[in-house]
Every structure is written in structure tokens, then in C-alpha cells.
Amino acid sequence: MSERKRVEIWPLSYESILKDLYNTPDNLKNCIDYYFKLSNDLIEKIQKIINQINIKRILFIGNTFNYFASYIPIYLMMHHSSKLNYWWQNYELTDFYDYNLPQFQDQNTIYIFISKSGESKLIKRSIERLRMLNIDKNQIWLVTNNLEPSVKNYCGLLFPINTSDELILGTKSFINTIFVIWLIGMILINENPFNNEIYNKLINIIEEMRKFESQSIEIANQIIEFFGIDFKFIYFLSKGASLSIAYQASLAAKTFGHVYANCLSFGLFYHGSFQIADENFRSIFYIGDDFNGNNIEIIPRLIDITTKKLAKGRILLIGNNEEIIDKVKNNPNVYIIKFKCNIPFLSPIIEYHVSTLIILEFAVRRGLIMFK
């Protein structure tokens, strides 16, 4: 058991949370089908606005998981930068409000706000401020689960995330948000995401999620044996779009599992804090794509240092990068969960679903969640 003094038990039962999490793939499927029905209409709407406005910047703005999700279109756009004539950036909402909200009638920026409720204080204030500056409503888009937010009339486009009720904020909605802003990103890089090939790949993602569900309790228990439950600190390390999951899982570990956690990119960890590793080192690595670059060297070396050389720490690797997995699969201090995802920028969906199911089992073992 954790030694921490204040341990709050969640008011929800394990069974109800598990049932809710198992509903995530269906929830995502509904969202996918909703957008595939819109398909060309949506593309036309977006392209019409893009053609009207001389865009120089696309900003994604949200708080917590909405902000983390925005890393996905950011990496997508970065990877396809050759197709873009504009700059892209994501901002944490408070930071945007305090330091970046324009003070003039900016005619060259698209502001994409992301908010599940569509009613959060700073989202409303920010949008109202843009409105006061006479910024064209077509430059203000909102990704939300609220079909009638109070700022609806100030937004040129509203993208529903179609999430049913969720017991834990940011579980199902985070995954649908990822999907929706990925779609927006695809259209912004001039790729049509609405075709059979992509639809089938999306269905494969849902199947991978369900496949993991069928063995999640058994795997989670193996990981608990492997990690132990008394560790005080856990690192979430990643790169690219999967960083969004590392950030969100780190947040979930703190709020949901009451474990201190930190999230860093492999690059930052490798060039800085790896020296903290000792035999208590516990980390989850997310490697959701096969854009390897230097990582083909760095990640196995990092694993070697933290599990063999500097310390005998333990790592859970969740990924679909065959080459890196091959290099570390024989290391007894690495537990691997391998999945398949043919849309690398959407690997985070599977990674997150896997992570929440594992964190749930940890929370039960730590006595934070009770059975019925």
C-alpha cells in the first residue's frame, strides 16, 4: 500500500468504471461514423473558410487533456510541413489567455478551441475577446461535446466529439477529441480522410482496443507483479504524437492513482534527468510510430542504461515500433505490450485505452477504488 497519508477512495466502484471504459471503442465508433456521414460536406466547409482567409497561423488551444490531444495535429502538420503555407502551434488555455490572446483584429489566424463542455471560463472569455476585436467568426472553431454552447454564435465551425456520459472525465472524451482534431489536421494538410482505406484502418484501431480489453485484467496483473505497487514515482516517456498520451497518463497517474509522475520526451530525458534512475525506477514508454531517426539508437540505449547499467529499473513499453521492440524484447526488465496501428498519428488512441485499463487495476490494488 502507498505510504501517503491522504488517500481518497473514489466514490465509484471498480465494476462501473470498467464497464464505462469498455464502452470506449463503441463511443469512438459512433464518432467515426458521424464524421464519415458528413465527409465531403465537412471538407467543403473547411476549405471554403480556408480559401476566404489568408491563413498564416493555425492555433490549437485547450486545457489539460484537450491541450494534450492537440499535440496530434501539431505533429501531423509538422510532418507534412512541406504542404503548408502557414505556421501551427498549440497553447495551454491559461497560457494563451494570459500571454497570447491578440490585442488587435488579427485576420490571418484560425483559432481552434477544444473544450469538452464548451463552457469553461477561459474558453468563453477568449472567444468573447476575439469577438470584441471583430475577428471573423469563421476564424474561430470549437471542438466540443456541447452542441449548444453559449459561444456557438461566435464560432464559424463547431465540431462535436459525440461522447456519451463518462464516469471519469477525459477517458472517452479524450479519445474522441484525438480523433476529431486528427480529422481537422488531415483536412488542413489537404488530405481527404474520408475513404474506405482509412475507414478500415480506423475499424482496426477499434478492434485492437477490444482485443486488449479481452485480456486487460490478466495483462494488468502481470504488470503489477512486474512493477510492484509501492513505487512512489513513475515516468511517462515518449516522442511525437504519443507524447499526448504520456502527458495525459502522467496526469491520470497523479489524479486517479495518487502517484507522483512526470512526463518527458525521450530526447529531454536522455539529455538530462536519466541520472535519477535507480532500482526503483519505473517508467512507461510509448512508441506509437516508426519515425525512428536517432531514436533507433537512443531508446534502446536509454532502456539499457535504466534497466541494466545505471540501475535495475523496470519499463513497460507500449508500442507498435517493430524495430525498437525487437532490440529490447529479450531484456527481462522490460514488459512489452505490442499493438498494431496503421495510422501512426492515431496510435495514441490505443495507447491511452491500454493505459487507463492498467491504471485502473493499479488504483484497485492501491486501495483507491473499491469493488461493489
Q: Which residues bind another protein (CB under 8 A)?
A: 4-6, 8, 56-57, 63-64, 67, 75, 78-82, 87, 89, 92-95, 98-106, 232-233, 239-240, 251, 254-255, 258, 260-262, 265-268, 270-276, 291-295, 298
Query: 171 or 216, CB closer to another protein?
Result: 171
Give the nearest distance from C-beta 101 to another protein in angstroms: 7
**Smallest distance, another protein to C-beta of residue 78, A:** 5
Block residue for cell numbers 491522504: 6
- Among residues 269, 271, 356, 351, the alpha carbon closest in space to that of 313 is found at 269
**Three-state SS for 272?**
coil
Burial level of 6, CB count in 10 A (0-12/13-18/19+)? Answer: exposed
- The smaller minimum CB distance to another protein, of residues 63 and 173, is found at 63
Pick the closer one to another protein by CB: 212 or 269: 269
Which of 93, 180 has the CB closer to another protein?
93
Q: Pick the closer one to another protein by CB: 38 or 251.
A: 251
CB of 319 to another protein, least distance (A): 14
Q: In terms of CB distance, is 13 or 265 closer to another protein?
A: 265
Contacts 24+ apart (CB under 8 A), 97-106: 97/122, 97/125, 97/126, 100/59, 101/126, 101/129, 101/130, 102/130, 102/133, 102/135, 103/133, 104/133, 105/133, 105/134, 105/135, 106/133, 106/135, 106/139
Q: How far is CA 154 from CA 48, 62, 127, 138, 286, in A?
A: 18, 17, 7, 9, 38
CB of 369 to another protein, least distance (A): 14
Whole-number Cα distances in Å, 228 to 194, 224, 303, 313: 44, 5, 19, 11
Closest CB to another protein among residues 25, 344 = 344
Question: Which residues neighbour 90 within 8 Å (Cβ) at sequence distance 6 or greater?
Answer: 59, 60, 61, 67, 70, 71, 73, 74
Shortest CB 7 distance to another protein, Å: 9
Q: How far is the CB of 4 from another protein (least distance, A)?
A: 6
Q: Which three cell numbers stand for residue 212?
A: 486488449
CB of 12 to another protein, least distance (A): 15
